[in-house]
A and B are shown apart, each in its own frame.
Chain A
């Protein structure tokens, strides 16, 4: 017993005997001191933090061998073996910075990101859907961003002198075939997808990653909501239709089912139209979205969208009397996709999926009945490995099946093609530091129909300045097969090729964003032909072209209270030899000067958000056969002022009113000419106009849920 006591005493004495002091200053590799470093002896409670000047002092009663740890946010931890023996010791470690995904430089060339999570974003998802001129169409909002042109008789996305087919749209990484509704010529279309589905988007006007193929000019990647917040029902009553959406959320999964019915007849009966409608556009759509969490970090999503609709319209023929030609159009469309993402061990992560798009158009043009079917299957698997915080490698495999069939039902003529394409891509990211990143990628592909194999290199780098501004450079080659309507007439056609070179400056700070970009793009192997659809002749791949210019974007949420505005100016100098043209011309879809302003102002007293957007360009080129030359004339400039008013009387109720072209300007997008001159030798013309002087939208959106603060503001 006595012995034990002695031993205990010995321990006690031993414990209090020697105190060791460790001190020093912690610096980074630039020689700056680091405050707030956590300094401690591993396996003990002994520890301290460095002061504002980086100095520290740790006094400990421990003795023996220990490990001294230095830990700080944004730096690699350092450990030292230390022998505590009562004599004072000094450690002046130099901590190396780690690459911090939150603050490190990002490549912003060509890219405009809308996200709630990431930095270097231009817009938030909510901003997109509240653009007054967008009228709830996600593409309408992108048309206020730099690099895009407003082509009012088409409605699709035209980027930097490229035509609409040069933009590829992806949902959760999977290709969407026929993302826009089918429409008659010169009747603008809309995207088929509700903006409410998406939590963010990545819109690139050039120089994008090797991950995106099959796009000459632009890639638009839309990401769906991961997990909705709560069970809720959303009712929408609009001047153009009705809709209901129900969301059910479980612990690890969720389901959203939506149905909408749209019919413009009652609206068109009340509001004057420029067009001669036999049957106003109508349609229904239904969609189901399922999400299942997979382990701690994985997610599996399934999505199905189906819709059916149609319209009948009389289209006047220049130089002829009467209502003209009756176009009867019916469209059936389905898009389904399944996708997954998972984070593995050892810094591996994986994602991929499969999608299927099926579009059937049935036209009757006078007595001719046409049926076209376009199917796209896309499968993709990507593995990403982080070898260190500085270096990561992404590798993916993709396959596409393009299947197209067109038939003249009345003549019993059918022709089709199938093209299987295999793609592989790899891309490496290397951070030299938090300020400098290099990215290099390669994309290879093979098409069975064209019997062509190709390789597209891509490269970009970005540097971040002290003031948080970033300069990025991107260059690369981009390949895309021509549109189906031409491939079916000449299946052996090869890829059209574009080369991009982009220089970008981006700064976002304190609620203000500046983005300026200059670009040069050249095109090779563009298709030229004679004749029109179904009757193309003499298809050759001898066209070429270029587009060059710059754009500027400024956004400010700070200067004026409760006000958010952005201003965009894009200059595009584009000429190309394409389609029926036998020389280089400025395409009708590429106005030189494009500008827009969007303003949103919240008025608390009115419980309202007021919005306005103004878009302007210098007009569209067209060929006037009464004069010599091609693309020898230009329309007057396009101008549109749109206003919107969102009223939130209760947190779960929104009343939204929007009106486009408030000033009633008669915008003209080009002219159609009679095929033959009249008696006095003149080709008669008809202007291509807007569908109506104005479009007025009134919607009431009600959200039903247990949580009274929920609303469907995202629907606007």
Chain B
């Protein structure tokens, strides 16, 4: 009996411990995902990126912390007010993290979409000289993300932005881009409805779609 109790206790202890680490991970992620959603200026995004980097270090097998760190750094690259070197520095960090995530979870539509998002950031940092070489690459990457998962609203809204830029360049209307915006909004709604409490999977980007609808598709 005594022996059994010990084993059970030991098992319970191990289970609680494992559970505790998992819980700690989920708790930390939930908190930081919310913080990232609210982060505005670069300094806040930096804190968010740091936090995800810390979580990634603790959970070497999870792709999500590196994924979110990449999203935070990519947004820093987009929003930074400084020069090209500063923007490229953040985007290089974003690339580092998304590559780690990609190694952990290959052929993941969400990760590929962020790879495209980073390319878009590099393009936006210096459109004059990077436009021609990177716009094709960005579109191709979003295309790959959509191919991997046609239900990924982030891949679709990012593609919509590229399509809109392309249409403007060639003097065409925004119809195609707006079709993609509508499609992404539908998918965002579906995603929100299906999401469980405590969902850690990517769910950002709806604001981007709504803003684009308001601005270009009215």
Asked if A651 is at the interface (CB within 8 A of a chain B CB), the reply is yes
Residues of B within 8 Å of A557, CB to CB, are 128-129
Q: Which of B88-137 contact A (CB under 8 A)?
A: 88-90, 92-93, 126, 128-130, 132-137
- Does residue B64 face the partner (Cβ distance < 8 Å to A)? no
Which residue of A has the minimal Cβ distance to B48? A49
Q: A38-B53, A102-B92, A124-B129 are in contact. Are A230 and B47 (CB under 8 A)?
A: no
Residues B128 and A648 in contact, CB atoms below 8 Å apart: no
Answer whether A102 and B58 are a contact pair too, CB < 8 Å, given A124-B133, A229-B137. no
Q: Would A40 and B54 count as touching, CB distance under 8 A? A: yes
Task: List A residues 179-200 near B (Cβ within 8 Å).
Answer: none
Chain B residues lying within 8 Å of A564, measured Cβ to Cβ, are 128
B133→A126 contact, CB < 8 A: yes
User: CB distance B89 to A102 under 8 Å?
Assistant: yes
CB of A256, distance to nearest CB on chain B (Å): 16
Q: Could you say which residues of chain A place their CB within 8 Å of the CB of B51?
A: 47, 49
Please tell me if B166 contacts chain A, counting CB pairs below 8 Å. Answer: yes
| Known contacts A511-B128, A648-B170; A43 and B50 CB within 8 A of each other | no
B46 within 8 A of A: yes
CA distance A710 to B166 in the complex (A): 12
A116 CB contacts on chain B under 8 angstroms: 130, 133-134
Q: What chain B residues lie within 8 Å of A48 (beta carbons)?
A: 47, 50
B189 touches A (CB below 8 Å)? no
A87 CB within 8 Å of chain B: no
Q: Tell me, yes or no, whether A65 is within 8 Å of chain B by CB.
A: no
Report the interface size for chain B: residues with CB under 8 A from the other chain. Answer: 40
The yes or no answer to B55 lying at the interface (CB within 8 A) is: yes
B window 143-175: CB within 8 A of A? 143, 166, 168-171
A709 adjacent to B132 (CB under 8 Å): no
Determine if B85 and A607 form an interchain contact, defined as CB atoms under 8 angstroms apart. Answer: no
User: Which A544-589 residues have a C-beta within 8 angstroms of B?
Assistant: 557-558, 564
Residues on A with C-beta less than 8 A from B129 are 124, 127, 511, 557
- From 119 to 172 in chain A, residues with beta carbon under 8 angstroms from any chain B beta carbon are 119, 124-127
Is B196's beta carbon under 8 Å from chain A?
no
Q: Residue on B with the closest CB to A603?
A: B171
A44, A45, A126, A707: which contacts B132 (Cβ < 8 A)?
A126
Residues of B within 8 A of A413 (CB): none
CA distance A713 to B135 in the complex (A): 13
Does B54 contact A103, Cβ atoms closer than 8 Å? no
Q: In the bound complex, what is the Cα–Cα distance between A258 and B129 (angstroms)?
A: 28
> Is there an interface contact between B166 and A709, defined as CB atoms closer than 8 Å?
yes
Cα–Cα, bound, A51→B47 (Å): 9
Cβ distance A627 to chain B, nearest Cβ, rounded Å: 51
Q: Which chain B positions have C-beta within 8 A of A605?
A: 171
Contact B46 A43 (CB under 8 A): no
Q: Are A45 and B93 in contact (CB under 8 A)?
A: no
| Those of B78-94 within 8 Å (CB) of chain A | 83-85, 88-90, 92-93
CB distance from B120 to the nearest CB of A (A): 14
Q: In whole angstroms, how far apart are the Cα atoms of A509 and B140 in the complex?
A: 29
For residue A218, give the distance in angstroms from its CB to the closest CB of chain B: 25
Known: A102-B88, A116-B130, A557-B128. A45 touches B54 (CB 8 A): yes
Contact with B along A42-58 (1 / 0, CB 8 A): 01110111011000000
Q: Mark A690-716, 1 if CB is under 8 A from B, else 0.
A: 000000000000000001011001000
A663 interface residue (CB < 8 Å to B): no
Question: B24 in the interface, Cβ–Cβ < 8 Å?
Answer: yes
> Which residues on the B side are within 8 Å of A43 (C-beta)?
58
B139 sits at the interface (CB 8 A): yes
Query: B200 an interface residue at 8 Å Cβ cutoff?
Result: no
Closest to A116 in B: B133
B53 to chain A, nearest CB (A): 6
Q: Which residues of B contact A44 (CB under 8 A)?
A: 58
Interface pair B93/A73, CB less than 8 Å apart: yes
The answer to whether B50 and A229 have CB atoms under 8 Å apart is no
Q: Residue A1 at the B interface, CB < 8 A? A: yes
Chain B: CB-nearest residue to A35 = B43
> B169 — which chain A residues lie within 8 A by C-beta?
604
Query: Considering the chains assembled together, what is the distance between the CA atoms of A693 and B57 in angstroms?
Result: 69
Are A36 and B43 neighbours in the complex by a CB distance under 8 Å? yes
Given A45-B28, A74-B89, answer yes or no on A1-B5 (Cβ-Cβ < 8 Å). yes
User: Which residues of chain B come closer than 8 Å to A538, judged between CB atoms?
Assistant: none
Chain B, range 48-78, C-beta contacts under 8 Å to A: 50-51, 53-55, 57-58
Interface assignment of A320: CB less than 8 Å from any CB of chain B = no
Tell me the smallest distance from the CB of A247 to a CB of chain B, in Å. Answer: 13
B9 at interface (Cβ–Cβ under 8 A)? yes
A4 in the interface (beta carbon within 8 A): yes
Q: Which residue of B lies closest to A713 (CB)?
A: B132
Q: Counting CB contacts under 8 A, is A6 at the interface? A: no
Within the complex, the shortest CB–CB distance from B42 to chain A, in Å, comes to: 8
For residue A510, CB closer than 8 A to chain B, the reply is yes
Q: Please report the C-alpha to C-alpha distance between residue A125 and residue B136 in the assembled complex, in whole angstroms.
A: 15
A47 to B55, CA, bound (A): 10
Query: Contacts of B58 on A, CB cut-off 8 Å?
Result: 43-45
Contact (Cβ within 8 A) B136 A710? yes
**Separation of A11 and B24 alpha carbons in the complex (Å):** 17
CB of B89 within 8 A of CB of A73, answer: yes
Complex CA distance for A458 and B92, rounded to whole angstroms: 33
Q: Write out, one digit per residue, whether chain A residues 401-439 have a CB within 8 A of any chain B CB (1) or not (0).
A: 000000000000000000000000000000000000000
Chain A CB within 10 A, most for which of B50, B143, B170: B50
Question: Chain A contacts of B166 at CB under 8 A?
Answer: 651, 709
Cα A52 to Cα B41 with chains together (Å) = 12
Give the residue name and chain of the B residue nearest to A44 (CB). Answer: B58
Residues 201-229 of chain A: 1 if any B CB is under 8 Å from the residue's CB, otherwise 0?
A: 00000000000000000000000000001
- Say how far B123's CB is from chain A's closest CB, in angstroms: 11
Query: Cβ of B93 and Cβ of A229 under 8 Å apart?
Result: no
The complex places the Cα of A365 from the Cα of B137 at a distance, in Å, of: 52
Instruction: For residue A703, give the distance in angstroms from its CB to the closest CB of chain B.
Output: 11
CB-based contact B132/A52 at 8 Å: no
Q: A38 and B54: CB pair below 8 A? A: yes
6 contacts between A and B (CB under 8 A): A38-B53, A47-B50, A47-B51, A102-B89, A124-B130, A604-B171
> Which B residues are closer than 8 A to A by beta carbons?
5, 9, 24, 28, 43, 46-47, 50-51, 53-55, 57-58, 83-85, 88-90, 92-93, 126, 128-130, 132-137, 139-140, 143, 166, 168-171
Supply 14 further A-B pairs (C-beta < 8 A) apart from A36-B43, A43-B58, A45-B24: A4-B9, A36-B47, A38-B53, A40-B57, A49-B46, A49-B50, A49-B51, A73-B90, A102-B85, A125-B133, A510-B83, A511-B129, A564-B128, A651-B170
